[in-house]
Chain A
Amino acid sequence: MLIAVFLPLIFACLIPFLSKWKQKVHTGWFVLPIPFSIFLFLILKVGKQFSPISQSYNWIPSLDINFDLYLDGLGLLFGLLISGIGTLVVLYSIYYLHKTEQLGHFYVYLLMFMAAMLGVVFSDNVYALYSFWELTSFSSFLLIGYWNHRSGSRYGALKSMLITVFGGLSLLAGLILLTIVTDTTSIQSMIDQKDTIMNSPYFGWILGFVFLGAFTKSAQFPFHIWLPDAMEAPTPVSAYLHSATMVKAGIFLVARFLPILSLSEWFFVVVSGIGIITLCWGSFMAVRQTDLKGILAFSTISQLGMIMSMLGFGTDAAIFAAVFHILNHATFKGSLFMVAGIVDHETGTRDIRKLGGLMTFMPITATLALFGTFSMAGVPLPFLNGFYSKEMFFKYSLELGEYSGIAQGLATAIPFLAVLGSIFTFVYSMYLVFGTFRGEYKKEELPQKPHEAPIGMLISPIILVIGIIVIGLFPHLVNGSFLAHAAEAISGHESHKHISFWHGFVTPLFMSLAVVGLGTLLVLTRKRWNSIYNVIPGKLSFNRVYDWLVDRTERFSSKITKTYMTGSLKLYVQLILIAIIFGTISMIVITNGINLDATDLAKIRLPELLVVGMMVLASIATIFTNNRIAAILILGVVGYGLSILFVLYRAPDLALTQLIIETVTVALFLLVFMHLPKLEKRNESKGSIFMNAAISISFGGMMTLVGISSYTSKWFDPISDYFLETSKSLGGGSNVVNVILVDMRGLDTLFEIAVLGIAALGIYGMIKLRRKKEAK
């Protein structure tokens, strides 16, 4: 199984070498065997006697992150869809994409996506699942943006990336919480511990995060907006990703975690509620579209909503119906996308307003479209699989059981909403097929003269339509052998259902008939009620919300950045000082660190007082002087005062050094200031002066407080006694300061002189380099 997952990835690495023969052989032919062999590998597992297979490969065992693979009925169903439709899509793309396109890129992305999808459905380890999950987002981003010279493709790719990655990250949060709660990374062991999960305080968060992940990926309301824009991708991609596989990843996730998620009483309301809203909104919006793929995109959204709401019903039978519809939807939607691609390819447009009357030109395509759309609409014909699952949907929406509160309201509304959504589904399905293939032929509006597609392009949709009919005629062919296993994998119970066309005169049949009747009526009178679309989505479109959000986030963040990143050094210094003041003072308050104790202080002597008084006066004078030379000289007074203080406190080395350094700095300042313009009186507003004063005074006050507090709270004896004792015996010198500098802590000195050296070279370099630049 590991090979099955990684085969596409490994093969993707070889594709660049195959592109050499691109001119002779279409690269797609090399790719074709890959999904087909995976399909064969998986189809051999189908059978009545199926038991889950589990395998484990080490990845990061120390973190309990491994490639744990688990193949049960659900994984098998999805695996077959992915590899089967993958085969057909590769075959279709061979005829769809011309050799002049960048085929290497296309097939690399497609194989990456295939591997990622297989990884998602086979993973048992949540982190492996998440890794593959993000790889699907990533590869679908690349595929949507395949024609990256079009701005629409880039916009659609970005949109789908933002939305699905947003969901993916919230899924990660949910999975991490699950790991924390259950202390395992295996999904099956998590399901075994569902009681622990339900009783944990994080249960609500887990639900929220996982649902968010699933709903964004599966284009549920209101995150459905990325899917119509993803239609900018090449049609094989739309057929594969946006109808059959990736958008079902969210459904897969809900199905996989159903035993855990359905523990919540909100499960039904959230999943079915969102699902049914998505169903109605998607089918309603699909009628409005004029682009063939736009119709199909919204139709996919609404069908996914239907599957989601069936999963939400939570009964074994409804789950079986959901699984059945996953299969059915993959068959008819895949074929319809391919048909749309053929129409686009052969006429040069996908705008349904320009199309019409194509039946005589493309009879085979028209037939395929007819089967696909009728199956999608759920027209009661005994050879269309769509009808069966829709009938089951109606049936189980009536058998929801007893709920209370909002759930009861929803349970009552669901059958009506289901019928409403299905009516619109019928309308757009009929519009799709009759609008394209019947009606008058508009010769002057078509860019190309239409003709039937080459046979190679038709093979894939034909196979899918055969699938529709075979499942429609013999539903039990797929029922016992693997649909039942899939349903069992979700719900944990045996659920072998009998699928039959004729139930007798029961409510679901009348619902279907109502759908057909009302749907036909609406199709015929479409022009009269079309103006409703100017009112209802109108300004309420979620695309506007998305655009507004993206635009606002951008503007808002740039605004924030501009408020504090003004380029003014003064502001930065102010901000840094304020941050230090707040941080220190809040820390002092929190730890109750103020300690003003005067017992340990020495007596103040008159010389000290005089020197300090002089220094204070000099510092104040520095602030108020407007003459630069004067400022330097007065500052020098402070420096000399300091060296006198060192003398008073018996630090001769420091006093000497300070004296010379002060002299040298004053001299340097004077040297440098020769080159500077005259200092002028600054015109500052009173508020700014006040602000500066407030910051300086509070900073000084804070430092005083910190100094006094730390002086009075001595926790340890100083180590200076050791230095005093051992300076002579160990260092061989009686100047303790110097012995410390060169012997006991010589390393500090070494690096200090290195710092000075760098500074000197820096100054030298700065002056010399500037000169050279000026010379040029």
Chain B
Amino acid sequence: MSMRTNDLILRTTTILIAFILLAFSVYLFIAGHNAPGGGFIGGLMTAAAVVLMYMTYGFESVKKIIPINFRYLIPVGLLTAVLTGMGSFLYNEPFLSQTFAHFSHIPILGEVELATALLFDLGVYLTVVGITLTIILSIANDQ
């Protein structure tokens, strides 16, 4: 990836596609409970978008744009998943008991149904993003 030629078309399309991908991945993640999707696919899709950016703009530039060390996402995601599971202890329920509720007066969205499983899924999402990027980046940057 060091020997990049003048790939203007790629760069231009990447700007567009990366955002579409990121938006789509967020959609997949949120819609997961009621439609195909979920944390796993959403996470992979986000990772795909980021990888695309790396491929087009190179390691150094993306590092400036997204100043996140993706390795840290793994423990953060796992911790989120475990903590949501432990949250059920507060209500005297077994580990990983999930519940859901309807919220009717939220601005913009109107009436929505939110489940605590979404928080768990967030953990999955973060972990998957962290894992995929850690693996791909460490192999790709290996000389």
Contacts and interface: CB of A to CB of B under 8 A. Distances in A.
Interface residues of A, number: 40
Contact of B127 (A667, A672, A747, A756): A756
Contacts of B74: 757, 760-761
A768 B33 contact: no
A735 B85 contact: no
B8 interface: no
B33 A739 contact: yes
Given A731-B115, A738-B37, A767 B44 contact: no
B32 to A, nearest CB: 5
Contact of B98 (A667, A742, A761, A764): A742
Interface stretch (A108-116, A252-260, A650-658): A650-658
A452 interface: no
Interface stretch (B10-18, B57-65, B134-142): B134-142
Contacts of A761: 71, 74, 134
B98 to A, nearest CB: 4
A743 B98 contact: yes
Contact of B77 (A663, A753, A771): A753
B134 A742 contact: no
A664 B121 contact: no
Interface SS majority for chain B: helix
A710 to B, nearest CB: 28
Interface string A220-233: 00000000000000
B98 A746 contact: yes
A763 interface: yes
A360 interface: no
Interface residue SS majority, chain A: helix
Contacts of B34: 733-735
A198 to B, nearest CB: 61
A749 interface: yes
Interface residues of B, number: 49
Interface string B119-139: 011011001101110111011
Given A656-B41, A660-B45, A749 B124 contact: yes
A747 B101 CA distance: 22
Given A671-B139, A742-B120, A767-B138, A735 B78 contact: no
B48 A747 contact: no
B81 A753 contact: yes
A753 B132 CA distance: 11
Given A743-B115, A746-B98, A750-B96, A760 B37 contact: no
B135 A763 contact: yes
Interface in B70-106: 71, 74-75, 77-78, 81-82, 85, 95-96, 98-101
B134 A750 contact: no
20 contacts: A653-B36, A653-B37, A667-B136, A668-B139, A731-B100, A734-B33, A734-B34, A738-B37, A738-B38, A742-B38, A742-B124, A743-B98, A746-B85, A753-B78, A757-B127, A763-B135, A763-B138, A764-B71, A767-B138, A768-B138
Interface of A: 652-653, 656-657, 660-661, 663-664, 667-668, 671-672, 675, 731-735, 737-739, 741-743, 746-747, 749-750, 753-754, 756-757, 759-761, 763-764, 767-768, 771
